[in-house]
């Protein structure tokens, strides 16, 4: 998602950011919503899949919302949220497939070479 890989970032306003790029010559877009402190609130992108399980594959809105943040060991992380198909549409609730809540965090040391 770095500009050197041809990702183009645009701020639509103070809380909405958009990145556009290509993958295998297919245009892609990622939309992010942040709060006044710059913390992620929500995200949406088109994801390849068959969320209705009809064997008709295509691009469908997929995204999520961060519902809480926590400081654990001096690091502030998005500690709770939910993800799913049809994000931002009237079918968002039925498309939810993942909820998370992080209650602990262990540091992993990088190997030294």
* Total number of domains in the chain: 1
Decide if 111 is inside a domain. Answer: no
Decide if 110 is inside a domain. Answer: no
Residue 70's Cβ-count burial label (10 Å; 0-12, 13-18, 19+) is middle
Decide if 68 is inside a domain. Answer: yes
Is residue 13 scored above 90 in pLDDT? yes
Q: Nearest-CA neighbor of 40 among 80, 90, 97?
A: 80
Is residue 42 scored above 80 in pLDDT? yes
The pLDDT of residue 95 is 95
Instruction: Tell me the pTM.
Output: 0.81
Q: Which domain holds residue 16?
A: 3-101
What pLDDT digit, counting tens, does each position of 58-101 carry?
989 999 999 999 988 788 999 999 999 999 999 999 999 999 99
Q: What element of type H or E holds 30?
A: strand 26-34
User: What is the percent of the chain where pLDDT is above 70?
Assistant: 92
Is residue 30 scored above 70 in pLDDT? yes
Average pLDDT, the chain: 90
């Amino acid at each position: 998602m770095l500009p050197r890989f041809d990702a183009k970032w645009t701020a639509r306003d103070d809380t909405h950011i958009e990145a556009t790029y290509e993958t295998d010559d297919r245009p892609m877009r990622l939309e992010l919503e942040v709060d006044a402190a710059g913390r992620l609130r929500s995200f949406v992108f088109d994801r390849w899949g068959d969320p209705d399980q009809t064997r008709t594959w295509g691009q469908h809105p997929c995204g999520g919302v961060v519902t809480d943040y926590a400081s654990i060991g001096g690091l502030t992380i998005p500690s709770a949220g939910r993800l799913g198909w049809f994000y931002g549409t009237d079918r968002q609730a039925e498309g939810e497939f993942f909820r998370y809540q992080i209650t602990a965090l262990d540091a992993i040391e990088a190997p030294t070479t």
